[in-house]
Structure 1
Amino acid sequence: MEFVLGAETLDGGEQVTSLTLPTARLGPFDPASLTTGTFGVHAKATSPVGTGGQDIGHDLDRPVTAARLDDHGDIVLELGHGAGTLGYADDRGRNFRLDLAYTVTQNAPLRRRGRPVPATPFTQGPLVNPEVDAFGHHMSRSGMKYRLYSPAAGSGRRPLIVWLHGAGEGASLPDGYYDNETTLRANRGALGFATEEAQAIFDGAYVVAPQCTSVWMDDGPGFAPLIHEIIRDVRRTHPVDPDRVLVAGCSNGGYMSLKMTTVYPDAFAASVPICGVVAGRADGDPPLIPDAELAAIGTPTWLVASLDDDTVDTRVNTVHAHERIPGSKMTLYDEVVRHGHRFPGHASWIYVARNDPSAGGVHIWQWMAANRR
């Protein structure tokens, strides 16, 4: 019988957080015979590509923190955190979806009226992440892949939110790796806008997440028309309000969200660049977005970053851009902390995915939703 891997995209990336064993067909058994020690879980994860000797996977026992029956009578094993579905290859600067091999071992019998229920072997089934699976797979006519979330049916035209991922979520074409997945599994950037809370604020919004074939910063002016083509495709096939197209992105995607408003100055109702890059990629390089382009941005812009970001210098990028974009807003955090856990300072997108930034009593999602082109 196949068990299901239940995954969640947490603030630090996707993890397998539960297993569901199809035990309903075995019939009822004594609840007392199901404990956290009844089954053991082992996880082995390996890279789908060569990584030059770097081990980006894992090989470990997963602690079972709870064991229960669901409404169908199947056993759900809840797992402790600590084993992601992605691995970051340093030599590629990319996240890759790991090949997962989970093994379930029955350590003690389930019992019915005191007698053991015959043991049944379990084999690994699909990986299920409801939030990720709610985004459909698509490809533009130019060959750029993207994921699209569609809101619940309703009347009238809806906003469209364009999420542009960071450098680690792009494809690695030399490896034949273009998965259209890591954009939704590496962080909650796009997923946050598809939550019930966000959808209520935006009165139902489409959310589109293109996946770059490399890194947006490699050729922002070249990628901009490809993103714009995807926006046109979604507008043509769905009831999108052309006056409520919004763009947001983190890091490499923060740069690209700004670049989109310089290439298409009349296309967007608002822009949210998070820990984005405008300076040169290295000391002495020309800026990716010159001051004259920043000063010409007319799209309402709210920049977000953390001062302890040690990947992108906040002052020479976010603060510099804010000082030059007319009327822009800016939220600077001292650090990135959620539920008592301190994340790397570069991960300030966590705050936007939770609608945390605010100014004058207005939070960032409400501000986005209120803007019109």
Structure 2
Amino acid sequence: MATPPISRRSILAAGAGAAAGLSLPAAAHAGNGHPPTGVGFTLNAEVLDGGEQVTSVTLDTSRLGPIDPASVTAGTFSVHAKATSPIPLAPGDLIFSEYDLDRPVTAVRVDRRGDIVLDLAYAEGQVGGGTLGYIVSKGRNVQLMLVYTITQNAPVSVRRRPVTISSFRQGRLSSPEVDAFSYHTARSGMKYRLFSPRARGRRPLVVWLHGGGEGASLPDNYYDNETTLRANRGALGFATPEAQRIFNGAYVVAPQSTSFWIEDGDRFAPLINEIIREVVRRNDVDTSRIHVVGCSNGGYMSLKMTTVYPDLFAASVPICGVVQSFQGGPRLITDEQLTAISTPTWLVTSLDDTTVPPVPNTVHAHELIPGSLVSLYEHVIWNGHQFPGHWSWIYVARNDPSVNGQHIWQWMARRRA
């Protein structure tokens, strides 16, 4: 007689990174006479250029015994995913990327530990795998609450015996590139994440300043120290093996604003500097090689930092940065301030950016900052996928901008304050 599908659910509070399994009735193993056995599972995620997605699920089956790989196919298990906002939404408010759907299993394998890995369908722009949601009224990304349900459709063979798993307990969200950044809070209360290089000795420091969507939403007490790394590859790019080779090892710090940088740049500048000083004090940082890089709101803030601390940075990379006020008021960075910038500066934007118009912002800044470089793209396209024109940080995260054959990471690595 065929073994009926068995569905078991557990909950991961993704923002807190902690699992809470449901108590479930046990189901007997199929035909082996052993007591029922439950297993945990891990959600494996990867930060794509368009944001983090869950790309596979690892079932912790190694303790069951050696599994015959031939007994496991893409149809052996089904995966359902539900993602909801971690904070209450006002009536009529919109959040992009919540979902409640089946995740197609594209492949299955038994890894070298003996765990079953279910590869899931994912792609840039695909709904149903992301870990972040964007709340329109707040202009903020939040880390979604993820609930994954695993259904076993057929037994697996363990020591030539058919086994049906009695229950599945959801565990943590594993994103190795994100997990490589440690958690910190400065004395001011501003949170930040820090990547530390393997190489010993005095190493440079890259300061990544996020865009407006990755700040906190304090009226809801939402301040996660997560979205700065999961929304895009801006900070992660500098922690990749390629970047680490170019910089010969580098620290990467990503502060998280308690709101958004443009709200009060004069107030945030010393708080960012406090984090820089803290990282320098606690680590072997070469203070002549501190670089500041930021996108959108963070592009504004990277320019702001070089006006407030003209001797601190070896290089500045403002990406689609804001110079002109959105409300038509005074310039956020004045012409006098731009003309006085002495930090080597390389600006990046895409000409189809409709969020931060390139001409009055990036192009204008380039015309005034002495000796500055600029990369102007027609569109934001990577690996054949076209992104919104505002997302030109993707190019910097991939070390694509170049001038006279020199790419932007190599240019940064050669700069000294």
TM range (shorter): over 0.9
Pick one of 312, 330, 336 that aligns with 1:267. Answer: 312
Instruction: Report the AA paired with residue 141 of structure 1.
Output: R
Instruction: Report the AA paired with residue 321 of structure 2.
Output: G
Correspondence list, 1:192-203, <5 A: 192-203=237-248
Counterpart in the other structure of 2:290: 245
Q: Is the CA contact (8 Å cut-off) linking 1:244 and 1:372 kept in structure 2?
A: yes
SS of the equivalent of 2:364 reads: helix
Counterpart in the other structure of 2:99: 58
The 3 A distance-change label for structure 1 pair 113 and 140 is closer
Instruction: Report the AA paired with residue 189 of structure 1.
Output: G
Counterpart in the other structure of 2:32: none
SS of the equivalent of 1:299 reads: coil
SS of the equivalent of 1:138 reads: strand
Q: Is the CA contact (8 Å cut-off) linking 1:245 and 1:268 kept in structure 2?
A: yes
The 3 A distance-change label for structure 1 pair 304 and 75 is same
Note the C-alpha offset of 1:120.
3.1
Correspondence list, 1:79-158, <5 A: 79-81=120-122, 82=126, 83-112=129-158, 115-154=161-200, 156-158=201-203
Structure 1 Cα separation of the partners of residues 191 and 304 of structure 2: 20
Structure 2 Cα separation of the partners of residues 343 and 294 of structure 1: 29
The 3 A distance-change label for structure 1 pair 300 and 39 is same
Pair 1:341-2:385 in alignment: yes
Q: Percent identity?
A: 69
**Deviations 1:247-290, CA, capped at 9 Å, x for gaps:** 000000000000000000010000000000000122x3111001
Note the C-alpha offset of 1:84.
0.5
Long gaps (5+) in structure 1:
none
Correspondence list, 1:225-244, <5 A: 225-244=270-289
Structure 2 Cα separation of the partners of residues 209 and 30 of structure 1: 44
Q: How many residues align?
A: 371
Structure 2 Cα separation of the partners of residues 350 and 153 of structure 1: 26
Instruction: Report the AA paired with residue 344 of structure 2.
Output: P
SS of the equivalent of 2:167 reads: coil
Note the C-alpha offset of 1:339.
1.1
Note the C-alpha offset of 1:50.
2.2
**Deviations 1:306-352, CA, capped at 9 Å, x for gaps:** 01111110111000100000000000100011111100010100000
Query: Under a length normalisation based on structure 1, what TM-score does the superposition of the two structures give?
Result: 0.98
Note the C-alpha offset of 1:291.
0.4
**Deviations 1:209-250, CA, capped at 9 Å, x for gaps:** 000000100000110000000000011110101100000000
Instruction: Report the AA paired with residue 288 of structure 1.
Output: L
SS of the equivalent of 1:174 reads: helix
Note the C-alpha offset of 1:114.
5.6
Pick one of 348, 356, 362 that aligns with 2:400. Answer: 356
**Deviations 1:139-189, CA, capped at 9 Å, x for gaps:** 1111110000000042x3110000000000000000000000100000000
Greater CA deviation, 80-89 or 159-168?
A: 80-89
Structure 1 Cα separation of the partners of residues 263 and 383 of structure 2: 36
Pick one of 97, 103, 111 that aligns with 1:70. Answer: 111
Query: Under a length normalisation based on structure 2, what TM-score does the superposition of the two structures give?
Result: 0.88
Note the C-alpha offset of 1:113.
6.5
Instruction: Report the AA paired with residue 74 of structure 1.
Output: D
Q: Is the CA contact (8 Å cut-off) linking 1:51 and 1:91 kept in structure 2?
A: no
SS of the equivalent of 1:368 reads: helix
Pick one of 48, 60, 65 that aligns with 1:22. Answer: 60
Structure 2 Cα separation of the partners of residues 40 and 85 of structure 1: 19
SS of the equivalent of 2:67 reads: coil
SS of the equivalent of 2:222 reads: coil
Pair 1:324-2:368 in alignment: yes
